[in-house]
Chains A and B, each alone.
Chain A
């Protein structure tokens, strides 16, 4: 299994440009997440999905959009990039727990984005 993969690893954007960060997992996990990590900070949840066709906002959704057309893929779209979106972006997935139990998240290697 490849686990959680993210592309690209690095990207530099100009203000106002758009791009899509790709995330894929091959573990058949129901739940997928997008986080951003700013320097010296923890991770902030941007969007999450509990299954194909279902997405919801996290703590910091403004300026981003997501879609989940398949179980495997969960792309994150940045429209009109701004310097405030300079960050490291992590995608994660986890298996749905049952009967009140929870499971750990598996993380991708991250995408380092700079907006100039």
Chain B
């Protein structure tokens, strides 16, 4: 199933640089969630977006959901080594099922 397409698959950035991760669906997203996963560990919830045009920020991470509710972006400002990990978008698409994107692996070089 390719309900959610995530890009890029991997990112290597220098510490201090900004970066953006995208999550796209061909269907309307009723709830869009961003999670972070450290290698070999469980998922940590970052943010949830529900309304078209919604934008949320926490510390240096900002997430947006477009007006059509089919695309979300996660933006990290002034990246730090602590931001390294796998970022996953997840969404309520149909009924009670839930889909995840394939993930974006982020490496931050000090």
**A residues near B, CB below 8 A?**
31, 33, 35, 40-45, 48, 50, 56, 58-59, 90, 92, 100-110
Contacts and interface: CB of A to CB of B under 8 A. Distances in A.
Given A45-B99, A48-B96, A50-B96, A102 B42 contact: no
B100 A43 contact: yes
26 contacts: A33-B98, A40-B103, A41-B102, A42-B88, A42-B102, A43-B100, A45-B98, A45-B99, A48-B97, A50-B96, A59-B1, A90-B42, A90-B43, A92-B43, A101-B50, A103-B48, A104-B33, A104-B45, A105-B90, A106-B45, A107-B35, A107-B42, A107-B43, A108-B42, A109-B41, A110-B41
Interface in B22-63: 30-31, 33, 35, 41-43, 45, 48, 50
A105 B98 CA distance: 10
Contacts of A33: 98
Chain B interface size, under 10 / 10 to 19 / 20 to 34 / 35 or more: 20 to 34
Interface of B: 1, 4, 6, 30-31, 33, 35, 41-43, 45, 48, 50, 88, 90, 92, 96-103
